[in-house]
Amino acid sequence: MIINEENVKKRLDVFVSASLEITRSSAQNLIDIGNVTVNGRVESKNYKLRLGDIIEIEELEPKILDCVAENIPLNIIYEDSDIIVINKPSGMVVHPAPGNEGGTLVNALLYHCGDTLSGINGVIRPGIVHRIDKDTSGLLVVAKNDDAHIFLSSLLKDHGIKRTYHAIIIGHLKEQSGTVNAPIARHPVDRKKMAVVAGGREAITHYEVIEEYTGYSYIKLNLETGRTHQIRVHMSYKGHPIIGDTVYGGGKTQFEKVNASLLDGQILHARELSFPHPRTKEIMHFECELPSNFSTLLERLRKL
């Protein structure tokens, strides 16, 4: 491609993103690994294009993921012909992705449900309406047909699904209850992380303190929006990261080091889930117990 006057002074990553119709982070990845050249040379992502520059792009071959049924035990809280509510354990990925192509919740659901899952999200994410992080445990609802999926997705968009999480955080919040309203986007430097960024997507988290201990707090949180890593980012932004969350500032205290065997990631649990049933419109409410490691950590904190 030869740069014309229209594209002069554009950043290289912006041009590649628009040309290939891919995300800017994907374009930056192509540039970083040397798959984009300018006049035969590798340039940085922020290179400003000049008139007559010759851009050559070598796209990565997409890796086709094959999602197969796997006989993995599921903790099923509720199931009917429209929905299935699962208590996901910490350590389980929700759907296949490069690096996590098997052992996921979707693999287990395909074995359990056969071909009855909603097909709206394609072969990799059948039935998946919302997700929780790999190392977050707790409740999520899966759609077993397209009508249920459309209804639940619309509810989620309009904040009609109530999701309540429990967490243990470092330190004490200034107020016993409150709201964090801070926009979230990709971290400007570390693209694997999210961060509070001006101009990011609206993100609102409500919190309430349940118990306080020496140097730590047990809290519950309600999501008004559902951004990637939202609770973890918001708690870190407030200066109170979730214990065990080494990505967003946890994992450094003496209590965490002493109790490392109980920390398999952030201590964050999706404990309650409420929504109208897709068919009957009856309000469904589900609640699950805290994982054993979570409960043990609380017992130890009470003794500090």
Pair type for strands 76-79 and 83-88: antiparallel
Q: Residue 40 is inside which H or E element, if any?
A: none
Token digits of residue 27: 């374009």
Q: Which of 133, 146, 190, 264 does the annotation list as catalytic?
A: 133
- Please choose, from the candidates 77, 79, 83, the residue with its C-alpha nearest in 3D space to the C-alpha of residue 279: 83
Residue holding tokens 């002069």?
8
CA distance readout (Å), 108 to 67, 103, 131, 140, 209: 10, 7, 15, 14, 35
**Can you tell me the distance from the alpha carbon of 153 to that of 151, in angstroms, rounded to the nearest whole number?**
6
66 has catalytic annotation: no
Token output for 215: 């140097």
The one-letter code for the residue type at 175 is: E
- Hey, what are 291's tokens? 């994982």
Amino acid identity, residue 161? I
* Residues belonging to the active site: 133
